[in-house]
Amino acid sequence: MEDQVPEFIKKMFPNGPPPHLKEKYPNGPPPEIIEMLKKSVGNQGSEAPKEAPNEKQQAPPEIPEFIKKMFPNGPPPHLKEKYPNGPPPEIIEMLKKNVGNQGSEAPKEAPKEAPKEQQQAPTANSAAPSADIIPPFMTPEMLMEMMKLGISPPKGEIKGEELEKIEKIMKGMRDDKYSYKYTGNYPDNDGYFGMFGGIMEEKLTASNRAAFTNCLIETIGLLKNYIPTDEFRNDLRKIRRDFQGRPTPIYECTRIQELIKKKNNGKCGRIFLKREDLNHTGAHKINHCMAEALMAKKLGKTCLCCGTGAGQHGLAVATAAAHFGLDCKVFMGSIDVAKEHPNVSKMKVLGAEVIPVDFGGKSLKEANDASIKYFGEHPEETFQCIGSVVAVHPWPLLVREFQRCIGDEAREQLFDQTGRLPNHVVACLGGGSNSIGTFSAFLDNKDIKLYPVEPLGRGTKFGDHASCLLYGHRGSLHGTYSYVLQDENGEYKSHSIASGLCYPCVGPEHAFLKEITRTIPSGANDHEALEAFFLLSKAEGIIPALESSHGFVQAVKLAKQYPDDIILCNISGRGDKDVDYVMENYPQYADIKVDEFDLLKC
């Protein structure tokens, strides 16, 4: 079929088409692609474009002035490495056409910054010849901004030869767990943890893809040029010390250990809790929300918006908005509005507008859908506060780094108290912010076992749980590629007694850590979580959030199984928000005596 490929396309790819195009079009480009490419190289008629003047490849090619102006300080390192002799002719041609000049001359200088209301996503016919370089929803200005920041445009799901290469690397990591260094190597520059993560452009948002992409560029710009600065670090450090109340302490569950010993022949491991429930607002969410509010202020935004499940993220965003004098809109599934009423009241007291979401499952996924839609319609003044290590790059990286204070503090505190590090680290897992924040400090200690604890809900049937790692499959949601709970019709479903864990997708880093067997995914069902809720309350005087109760189930199981070991469990939030709901719907658990819970039995 090689002879059927037009000459002008062959000249676009002198070394043959790239692997992803070979895989997609093994028999050559279909007619509609050929027609699109004809138009995209400046020929609006029906014939193939005329050949350019006979310029045989000269090395190195002269770099046009308009490209030099794009990079006044020289090209970023990744482009220098990729094109050591300067950009090849096809890239120069592509840039000519994508800065608005459809002729053969270099483009005129564009204004410094076009009004954003005038920026429109190009049509299919205005796409650049190399479709793998510029996604269809990205304007040329956006492309250039991303190039200046040293990042690649979205490439979506990894397939073909690149996927095979990643699979081999991951197999090596599984086979030899002790030879690789994790910290600092993941995610890569494009936001991938192996094949997970990245930017799934076709899933960004239905309402305003271009606006969302502009947000990505703003956010990545902050990641590179603001977050590493002393200004940001000092401001965040002061907020955490004076406003949040960090560092939070660790606490040993001595009474529960005694209860276990009575039923386990005097044997029990030591259980230490990281008390994130003692944070201002009652959960770990404030760790990243205050940082996100600083980012919003730097960008000149006037409103924070978010989706929330249990209300802890919404409460933290509302708190941050009040602290910085910003407006706040919180989207919350109507089921959760009724279930988590105390947090709804607190958000309103703080000045936030709480907007019930009544479509779909009326829970966390739909709340996030509604929040993203609102942001897409109001990008100029609004900053979208992501609530976990989910969504498009760079949010899984940013939220992880804002949450890693949990593990960093706990590691130091535990060593000070015991003279050693834990054998096991446990945290509940929904999207994954509290768990990755806890695990991050221990990822390079390969002999320390890490347990993300998922909600097993009321059974293994689709829609009865929210256990993505245990029962999900690879897929994408809200712009990231990870493990999802999705049926053959494309419907997402999840259930958990804990609203904050009821999400049908897990953060991409958790998917990667599972695949390289660095973590040991486990689960706790609704009954076990309720028992843990009451056990910790009655035995230690600590009322945990229902989300955190899932993690504590695993901590108790490990203490029974490993009597000589130390178990560190993150209590991600307190359960004040859950007390009314639990007592109205499960009052029978309150009647169980402290030493009679099934969870204590061996």
Q: Has residue 286 been placed in a domain?
A: no
Q: Which of 106, 135, 165 is the last residue of a domain?
A: 106
Tally the C-alpha atoms within 13 A of residue 139's C-alpha that lie toward its C-beta: 20
Residue-wise pLDDT for 432-468, tens only, equals 999 999 999 999 999 999 999 999 999 999 999 999 9
Q: Whole-angstrom Cα distance, residue 120 to residue 428?
A: 42
Evaluate whether residue 265 is within a structural domain: yes
Residue 82 has a pLDDT of 65
Task: Spot the catalytic one: 284, 288, 313, 393.
Answer: 284
| 154: pLDDT strictly greater than 80 | no
8 A C-beta contact, residue 320 and residue 509: no
Give how far the C-alpha of residue 280 lies from the chain's centroid of Cα atoms, to the nearest Å: 24
pTM higher than the cut 0.85: no
Distance between CA atoms of 170 and 165, rounded to whole angstroms? 9
In a domain, 332, yes or no: no
Considering its fold, how many domains does the chain have in total?
2
Tokens 């829609």 -> residue: 463
**Alpha carbons 453 and 247: distance in angstroms, whole number:** 24
pLDDT tops 60 at residue 98 = no
Give the residue numbers spanning the domain of 78.
2-106
Residue 366 falls inside a structural domain: no
Residue 127 has pLDDT above 70, yes or no: no
Domain for residue 445, yes or no? Answer: yes
Examine the fold and report which residue of 77, 106, 135 is the final residue of a domain before the chain moves on: 106
Q: What is the pLDDT of residue 115?
A: 37
**What strands, in cross-sheet order, belong to the sheet with 449-457?**
250-252, 270-275, 566-571, 424-428, 449-457, 522-525
Report percent pLDDT > 90 for the chain: 60
Alpha-carbon span 166 to 189, nearest angstrom: 15
Looking at 106, 121, 153, which one is the last position of a domain?
Answer: 106
Spot the catalytic one: 20, 78, 215, 253.
Answer: 253
Specify if 287 maps to a domain: no
Helix (H, G, I), strand (E, B) or coil at 274: strand
Q: Which residues pair with 333 in a beta bridge?
A: 357
Residue 401 near residue 549 (C-beta atoms within 8 A):
no
Rounded (5°) CA angle 30-35-38: 125
In a domain, 497, yes or no: yes
- What CATH code is carried by the domain that includes residue 469? 3.40.50.1100
In a domain, residue 505? The reply is: yes
**Is 268 considered catalytic here?**
no
Does the annotation mark 284 as catalytic? Answer: yes
> pLDDT value at position 43?
41
Q: How many CB atoms lie within 10 A of CB 162?
A: 14
What pLDDT does residue 57 have?
46
**β-bridge mates for residue 455, sequence order:** 524
